[in-house]
Structure 1
Amino acid sequence: MTKSPITSHVLDTATGQPAAGLPVQLSRLEGETWQTVDEAITDADGRIMTWRVPDQDLGFGTYRLRFQLQSYLGDSAFYPYADVVFALADERHHHIPLLLSPFGYSTYRGS
C-alpha cells in the first residue's frame, strides 16, 4: 500500500506514546466552506498513512486536518479539537505531525 500525499503522525507528549485511536477529519476549502474529504482514526503508531479518497482526487488547494482531541484525551482536554490548515500547492509529500498534551499542541511541516 502506498502512502497518501497527505499523512500525519500524532504523539502524546504527556505520555511519551503515539496517540492511537484519535479521530481525524480531512477537509478541503471550497470557496468559503469546508467540505469533508474523508475521516480516519490514527493507528497503533499514531499515524494516518492513507485516506479512502483516491490520491488523484486530492488536488491542489487549502486543506484542514481536524484532530478530535477531546475524543482522545477525554475530560482532561482543554482544547476539544486542533485544526491544522495548510496549502497543498505542489507535488511533494505533505506530512503533518501533531504533538499534543491536555493543555497544548504544536505542529510543523514534516518530511
Structure 2
Amino acid sequence: MTAASSPAAAPHRTSVSTHILDTSRGRPAGGVAVQLSVRDGDGGAWIPHGASSTDADGRCKNLPDLPEGTAQVRLRFEVAPYFARTADHTPDTPDTPDNAEEQQDAPRARDSGPDTRTRGPFFPEVVLTFAVDPGEHYHVPLLLNPYGYSVYRGS
C-alpha cells in the first residue's frame, strides 16, 4: 500500500449524548432545550459549544463532538418551559382522606406548591458539570420531576 492509498488513522472522537425521562409522568421529556459548553483542564472560562433540544423520545443525540483539549463539559437543561407545557396534563389528585397528600407530615403551605403554572418548577434549570477523557463517549441521562432530579453516566 502506498501512503496515498493507506487509510488515515481515524481520530478518537469525544462525544456527549443525553436523554430525559420525566419520572412524575413516566414518559420521555421532549422539547427540552439543552446547551453544551466546554472548558480545558485549567478551569478556564466556559465556551459555548452547541445547543439542541430533546426529541419526542426525550433524546438529544445531535450534540457536536467535543474539541480537542476539552477536560470538562457542562450541560444546561431548560426545564421550566417543559414543566409549563406539561402542567395541564398531570392527573388531578383526589380530594379524599385516603389521599397521600393528607397523610404527609409536611406542612400544607410549601414554598414550591403543586401549581407549577404560577410558581414554576422548584428547579427551573438543571446544570451538570462533568470531567471527560479524550476518545470516550459520555451518555448522561437525566431523571426529572418538578421537585428533584437524578443523573448518572449511562452507556
Aligned to 1:77: 121
The question of 1:110 aligning with 2:133 is answered no
Contact 1:66 1:84 in 2 (8 A): yes
Q: How many residues align?
A: 106
Aligned to 2:55: 43
The structure that is strand-richer by fraction is: 1
1:50, distance to aligned residue in structure 2 (A): 1.5
Contact 2:23 2:145 in 1 (8 A): yes
| 1:49 counterpart letter in structure 2 | K
The question of 1:23 aligning with 2:33 is answered yes
Segments of 5+ residues of structure 1 without an aligned counterpart are none
| Percentage of identical aligned residues | 42
Residues 62-101 of structure 1 aligned to structure 2 (within 5 Å): 62-74=72-84, 75=116, 76-101=120-145
Bigger Rg, structure 1 or 2: 2
1:59, distance to aligned residue in structure 2 (A): 4.5
1:35, distance to aligned residue in structure 2 (A): 1.4
1:58, distance to aligned residue in structure 2 (A): 5.8
Say which SS state the counterpart of residue 67 (structure 1) adopts.
strand
| TM-score, normalised with respect to structure 1 | 0.85
Structure 2 residue corresponding to 1:34, chosen from 46, 52, 58: 46
My pick for the range that moved more, 40-49 or 81-90, is 81-90
Segments of 5+ residues of structure 2 without an aligned counterpart are 1-13, 85-115
My pick for the range that moved more, 100-109 or 75-84, is 75-84
1:18, distance to aligned residue in structure 2 (A): 0.3
| 2:67 counterpart letter in structure 1 | D
